[in-house]
Structure 1
Amino acid sequence: MTDPTWTISELAQEFSITPRTIRFYEDQGIVSPSREGRNRIYHARDRTRLKLALRGKRLGLQLSEILSLIDMYDGPGDSVAQLQHYLEVLEQHRDALKRQREDIDLTLAEISRQEKTCRALLAARSAA
């Protein structure tokens, strides 16, 4: 029985991404398909690594963080060290997102103040 394989088009369709995105991940060393002539053949390992990369991207992780996490999965498995590292990455990312949210909230509050001032000035000029 042979292991399942996928073409670049099949993976692109499955994950709703473009073949160009998959080639980018190939350039970054995340997937490494075999070749049959000019065609790329992706194996289960490639599919799993691509899935993890896309999940990391959805979480907003940087490419270096994604690579680090994916490389952990090529190791011996769910070791304590791997899980602790993953937890640290998630905590750092959560903290960064919280800081961004605070910055966004402050910016939105300032925009609201400026809008209120601008509307009051417009109302005063319209009444005059």
Structure 2
Amino acid sequence: MDKLLSITEVAEEFGVTARTIRFYESKGLISPQRVGSTRAYSYKDRGRLKLIFRAKRLGFSLTDINEYLELYIVDQTQKEQVHLLLDKVNGRISELEQQQEDLIDTLEELREIQKQCSESIDTA
């Protein structure tokens, strides 16, 4: 569990490039230890990366992710963190539901255009 991994090993573990991991480090989301000039990623760093990748996949911004991760340090009870997460999740659900409605409307409109085009071709 305390084993330190290199950036290459961590990149392989998560199926990303080392550049991706360095990007998250440059944004202050992770801070690996240094062994000389080599980055050394702990179990905790990899846990943070797992949370980052999950949050990105779910559509959260880097600002949202950073705010959430910072609460790990500040709030030992994790109450604030859970409340923040709930607010962010509720907001993301609302955004996705609106996008879903917009997509349904767009698809209906495109199908109507498709139908009109097909009918126009059939009558020509």
Common topology (TM > 0.5): yes
Equivalent pairs, count: 124
Deviation of residue 124 (structure 1)? 0.9
Answer yes or no: is 1:64 the counterpart of 2:63.
yes
Answer yes or no: is 1:54 the counterpart of 2:50.
no
* Kept after mapping to 1: 8 A contact 2:71/2:80: no
Deviation of residue 9 (structure 1)? 1.0
Deviation of residue 35 (structure 1)? 2.3
Deviation of residue 38 (structure 1)? 3.2
The separation in 1 between residues aligned to 2:9 and 2:76, in whole angstroms, is: 28
Deviations 1:64-109 (A, max 9, x none): 1111111122233343222111101100010011011111111111
Q: Which moved further from structure 2: 54-63 or 78-87?
A: 78-87
Q: CA RMSD in A?
A: 1.6
Q: Which moved further from structure 2: 42-51 or 95-104?
A: 42-51
Structure 1, gaps ≥5 residues long:
none
Identity of aligned residues (%): 37
Match of 1:29 in 2: 28
Stretches of 4+ moved more than 4 A in 1?
none
Q: Which moved further from structure 2: 109-118 or 69-78?
A: 69-78
Q: Which moved further from structure 2: 72-81 or 89-98?
A: 72-81
Match of 1:43 in 2: 42
Deviations 1:18-61 (A, max 9, x none): 11110110111111122233321112221111111001011111
The separation in 1 between residues aligned to 2:114 and 2:3, in whole angstroms, is: 58
Which of these two proteins has the greater Rg computed from alpha carbons? 1
So what's the TM-score if we normalise by structure 1?
0.89
SS in 1 for 2:74: coil
* Kept after mapping to 1: 8 A contact 2:4/2:43: yes
